[in-house]
Structure 1
């Protein structure tokens, strides 16, 4: 009882302190009503089940789309609620209104926000993405008889002790999770070591693979190419999902490449679009002519060296028009980003050494169209070689696309696991 009161008080204090950020910070902006769990009262379910899917970012919500589709396929008529922590996550979820029936911002984990949210939404299952283990949400779910599932479970070895401590301090939350659907066996071992019951842990793969729609349409790629006014006879290097500290490195490499490939163009698509203006300033400082995509199409006759894609929804097309691609979050300690997106476009994919949260993707792609580089010098050397050897880069792109086609199916497995647990609960 004392422990429960302690962690509830702690969550309340942390939520109170975080409230201004959760409502007004540019990356987290959301209505106060959503943060307090004051959602609309949903009507009684018309179908068999109502699922609450939660992720942090826009990328998380994209990864949850194929799971939502699979749940609707195996349980026709079911409803899907989607929540996200970040503004980009909420915006991305709203792009999939055909999949997500209701979209809201994530409630704070304290100040009784989850306990206000659950009776209003009345879900049968709370499905948390990656490592979105929120004690308040989990306890509220169990109090309101909803099952709790971790989808694409991700726990690194160095975090096992932290999660074990979190579970104990917050009332044994790992014992309140009904299923841990992990991406690979290494992460399954980690979650068991952190306190998960072995009979609740399954290795099912990564639904991120299923989120790939395949190659972007030719029309969308050509529309972007025309909007950027990129000549047909020039090579393009697209760097996607870049983070703070990476763009300077990439611009330095680009300057070196220009000595070998004078007409080369660079597209930088930052992970967080609000960083666009800073990247523009950095590129200008290095002597390049820059165009910021949020300003619209490139002006007729304008010469551009570097395009900063600070817009939503155009990354896949930017990969599609590339000659070679690089995926960010991997030259700085951010754990990496989705390297399968450019692979689906039949492009050679380069990425850095810091891929701690994407190990399964690295294993899938290295040697099969993907190249993991070690530092700036290595990146420059590999890119120079590939730009001078078109047959090699085409071969790498073909292998990458073939590998993407081979590794799908986790969403359907996870949907069946979730349905089996719900049916078992109904029978008990």
Structure 2
């Protein structure tokens, strides 16, 4: 089936989904800009950088500040897929930079976006592959560069038809700046050429502006551990484990998708465990075992004072979540066996003894017990994790060297 025909066929789904998110997030701007409208009038060209959501925006910021320094006449527009991504751009508030929502995958919306912002260059963080978007850029002679490029497990194991679309899309990309040698080889399996590919390192390792971090939250003076960015069924497993530990510390669960809060609460009710819910503004008492932090944008604040941070998405075959935020904060980090989407990050921290990767829940129980009893071990792990990131100082220069040739 032709990709263009498919996008036309499923256009009603694109539209309804966009309306649903706009209503949920109460954002008319989200609805209009995703559909190709309501772009502010521009008198100058812009360098366009696309970041899917919060994590990609945060990863971009050190590089963007360097680009702003090196190109004082240039203006930038950052697109995101989510309203939380938009809020993150607003919080950082970089100079000469505006935010816009990424247009949906249609010629009408994409071309209106490119025309409105007078796009000169397209930089895409982390690799989002949108064949129509890539085609529109190529037709208007807008060079595309993938930065901090990686391919997810899902992309690499996609079916033949999808892989064909990826190969065709990569033909329209000028440079692919990979985060590791392994990722470079992954791109080669999907048809990228040696002339396109460069290894510059993982930009996530460069985020080290401690002054920009928000202060830790106060949970009624309770000490606590954090289960960060958890996914379906992990909350139940971790809560049962916490019951077995019978710890005086609180377990703060921060689900990756807060809209799952009601489902998680039903699971907790079945466990007969004392819990409080942040969105309900529940009070935390000395009897509270679990604190369900079902809100957005507060994960860093919870991580900042946690004794231990367990990374979600790793007890189930989801592929894990980014553990570098906890490393920057100097926390003791534990993750499960399924971290295949963050293989490089885990390997770096394991190599520097800044992380423990467990194989199952029984091992996790033992590790939690051990770390809770030995604060010096937790402190050393956190110091090792932070030091591992500080040793990656040259990565920004690698990216700047490549981008200087383009902008």
Same fold (TM over 0.5): yes
Alignment partner for residue 369 of structure 2, among 375, 384, 403? 384
Deviation, structure 1 residue 160? 4.2
The aligned residue for residue 254 of structure 1 is: 242
Structure 1, residues 145-178: CA drift from partner, whole Å, max 9, x if none?
2210111111257744749854644782211101
* Structure-2 separation of matches of 1:239 and 1:284: 19
Structural mapping, 1:268-283, within 5 Å: 268-283=253-268
- SS of 1:365's equivalent? helix
Specify the alignment match of 2:356 in structure 1: 371
Task: Find out whether 1:44 has 2:39 as its counterpart.
Answer: no
The whole-number CA distance in structure 1 between the counterparts of 2:339 and 2:177 is: 21
Correspondence for 1:333 among 305, 317, 331:
317
Distance (Å, rounded) in 2 between the aligned partners of 1:348 and 1:292: 25
1:115-194 paired onto structure 2 within 5 Å:
115-156=111-152, 159-160=155-156, 162=158, 165-166=161-162, 168-169=164-165, 172-194=168-190
CA distance, structure 2, for counterparts of residue 100 and residue 161 of structure 1: 40
Task: For 2:234 and 2:211, locate their aligned partners in 1 and report how far apart those are by CA, in whole Å.
Answer: 26
Instruction: Measure, in 2, the Cα distance between the counterparts of 1:391 and 1:99.
Output: 42
* Deviation per residue, 1:168-195 (Å, 9 max, x gap): 4478221110110111111101112211
Unpaired stretches in structure 1, ≥5 consecutive residues: 423-428
Runs of 4+ aligned structure 1 residues displaced above 6 Å come to 27-30
Assess, with a 3 A threshold, how the Cα gap between structure 1 residues 420 and 353 changes in structure 2: closer, same or farther: same
Query: In 1, Cα distance between the equivalents of 2:343 and 2:307?
Result: 25
Contact 2:153–2:340 at 8 Å: present in 1 too?
no
Which residues in structure 2 correspond to 1:340-379 (within 5 Å)?
Answer: 340-367=324-351, 368-379=353-364
Please give the per-residue CA displacement for 1:107-163, whole angstroms capped at 9, x wherever unaligned.
Answer: 111252211211011111111122301111111112222210111111257744749
Distance change in 2, residues 1:331/1:408 (3 Å): farther
Q: Distance in 2 between matches of 1:385 and 1:215?
A: 32
Give a deviation string over 1:222-274, Cα, whole Å, max 9, x none: xx11xx2034xxx421111111121111101111111xx3x121111111222
Q: Cα distance 1:127–1:27, how it changes in 2: closer, same or farther (>3 A)?
A: farther
Q: Is the 8 A contact 1:345 1:401 kept in 2?
A: yes
Once the 2 structures are TM-superposed, how far is the Cα of residue 416 of structure 1 from its aligned partner? 3.3
Partner of 1:208: 204
SS across alignment from 2:201? coil
State yes or no: 1:264 paired with 2:214. no
Of 214, 217, 220, the match for 2:215: 220
Partners of 1:312 and 1:100 lie apart in 2 by 27
Q: 1:307 to 1:100 in 2, by over 3 A?
A: farther
Alignment pair present for 1:32 and 2:31: yes
Give yes or no for the alignment of 1:237 onto 2:225. yes
1:281-340 superposed Cα distances (whole Å, 9 cap, x missing partner):
4333322222222344737x6743221222233222211211111111111222211112
1:409 offset after TM fit, Å? Answer: 4.1
Aligned length: 403
Q: Distance in 2 between matches of 1:249 and 1:216?
A: 34
Matches of 1:317 and 1:171, distance apart in 2: 41
Change (3 A) 1:122 1:412: farther
For structure 2, the residue ranges without an aligned partner over 5 or more in a row are none
Deviates more, 1:182-191 or 1:331-340: 331-340
- Cα deviation, residue 207, structure 1: 1.3
d(CA) in 1 for partners of 2:346 and 2:209?
20
Does structure 2 retain, via aligned residues, the 8 Å contact 1:167–1:174? no
Distance 1:112 1:12 in 2: 11
Distance (whole Å) between structure 1 residues aligned to residue 102 and residue 73 of structure 2: 24
What's the secondary structure of 2:210's corresponding residue? coil
Match of 2:274 among 286, 289, 296: 289
Q: Which one is further off, 288-297 or 338-347?
A: 288-297
Structure 2 vs 1, CA of residues 27 and 59 (structure 1 numbering), >3 Å: closer, same or farther? farther
TM-score (norm 2): 0.90
| Cα displacement string for residues 53-93 of structure 1 (whole angstroms, at most 9, x for unaligned residues) | 11222222222222322221221232221112233323323
